């Protein structure tokens, strides 16, 4: 094609764009919903009675390719119980300066204590506030949940908790299967998914 037509072709591109639907979003006033399985910030989930699902095993930390997770486990006692069973996560941190939101940690978690939400607003103006602590990561208490420490309300043993939802509630506890469903629903809070 002749060279003198090139500028006209260039204006043609501009002209064409003027009539296309605008993709710009007025963020942060307008936030587009993410894909349902989007990997956003993490959440530490609870059982329906409010006890924590994390047992402080550190498998998530070992699985993390970015070395972004720090966990310290501690023993539960009858006087001070945070999770069913022997251990709980007493210190839990995720460093969002390192995290690449790959999701390997949630695959490694044996209790589904750790899941990811759809929340993606993780920017800040200083490094310290991007190290999220257990208190920030813990799921909010839902209706009917009691803040730990407290005794096991849903069964005699850790096993009763793990059987929730599979057997219609732990034997002898008189707790309905809906308690398990409430826990599963709570995993997705505040706006996340349960991957
Ligand atoms: S999402 Fe990936 S990088 Fe982030 S803490 Fe989990 S394993 Fe580590
Ligand atoms: S979040 Fe899961 S894998 Fe990580 S320490 Fe707690 S129980 Fe273990």
Condensed to tens digits (0 to 9), the pLDDT of residues 30-87 reads 999 999 999 999 999 999 999 999 999 999 999 999 999 999 999 999 999 999 999 9
pLDDT at 193: 44
Instruction: Tell me which residue has its CA closest to atom 7 in ligand 2.
Output: 54
Quote the percentage of the chain above a pLDDT of 70.
83
Task: Ligand 1, residue 67: give the atom nearest the CA.
Answer: 8
- Could you tell me where the DSSP H helices lie in the chain? 6-18, 59-63, 104-108, 134-137, 158-162, 178-187
Residue the block writes with tokens 């939400």: 117
> Does the Cβ of 68 fall within 6 Å of ligand 1?
yes
What integer best gives the mean pLDDT of the chain?
Answer: 87
Give the 3-state secondary structure percentages of the chain, helix then strand then coil, rounded to 5.
25, 15, 60
Average pLDDT over residues 85-110: 97
Residues 23-37 pLDDT 10s: 889 999 999 999 999
Instruction: Tell me which residue has its CA closest to atom 4 in ligand 1.
Output: 99
Spell out a b/e string for 31-64, using b for 16 or more CB atoms within 10 Å of the CB, else e.
eeebeeebbbbbbbbbbbbbbbbbbbbbbbbebb
Q: State how far the alpha carbon of 81 is from the alpha carbons of 120, 127, 147, 152, 173, in Å.
A: 32, 33, 11, 8, 19
DSSP per-residue codes, 118-175 = S------SSSGGGEEEHHHHBPPPPTT--PSS---SS-SSHHHHHTTTTSSS-TTS--
> Residue 95 above 90 pLDDT?
yes
Query: Can you read off the two tokens belonging to residue 84?
Result: 């069913």
CATH topology of domain 35-187: Alpha-Beta Plaits (3.30.70)
> Does the Cβ of 64 fall within 6 Å of ligand 2?
no
Kindly list the domain boundaries of the chain, sorted by start residue: 35-187
Task: Ligand 1, residue 63: give the atom nearest the CA.
Answer: 7
Query: Can you read off the two tokens belonging to residue 85?
Result: 């069973």
**How far apart are the C-alpha atoms of 151 and 118, rounded to whole Å?**
32
Q: Which ligand is nearest to the CA of 69?
A: 1
Ligand 2 mean position, distance from CA 53 (Å):
8
């Amino acid at each position: 094609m002749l060279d003198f037509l090139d500028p006209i072709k260039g204006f043609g591109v501009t002209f064409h764009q003027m009539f296309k639907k605008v993709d710009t979003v007025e963020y942060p006033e307008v936030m587009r919903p993410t894909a349902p399985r989007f990997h956003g910030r993490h959440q530490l989930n609870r059982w329906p009675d409010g006890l924590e699902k994390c047992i402080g095993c550190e498998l998530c930390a070992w699985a993390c390719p970015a070395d972004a997770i720090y966990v310290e486990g501690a023993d539960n006692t009858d006087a001070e119980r945070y999770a069913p069973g022997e251990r709980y996560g007493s210190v839990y941190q995720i460093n969002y300066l390192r995290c690449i939101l790959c999701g390997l940690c949630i695959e490694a978690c044996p209790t589904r204590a750790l899941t990811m939400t759809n929340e993606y607003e993780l920017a800040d103006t200083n490094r310290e506030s991007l190290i999220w602590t257990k208190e920030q990561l813990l799921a909010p208490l839902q209706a009917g949940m009691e803040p730990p420490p407290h005794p096991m309300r849903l069964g005699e043993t850790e096993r009763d908790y793990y059987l929730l939802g599979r057997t219609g509630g732990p034997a002898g506890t008189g707790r309905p299967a809906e308690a398990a469903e409430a826990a599963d629903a709570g995993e997705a809070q505040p706006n996340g998914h349960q991957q």
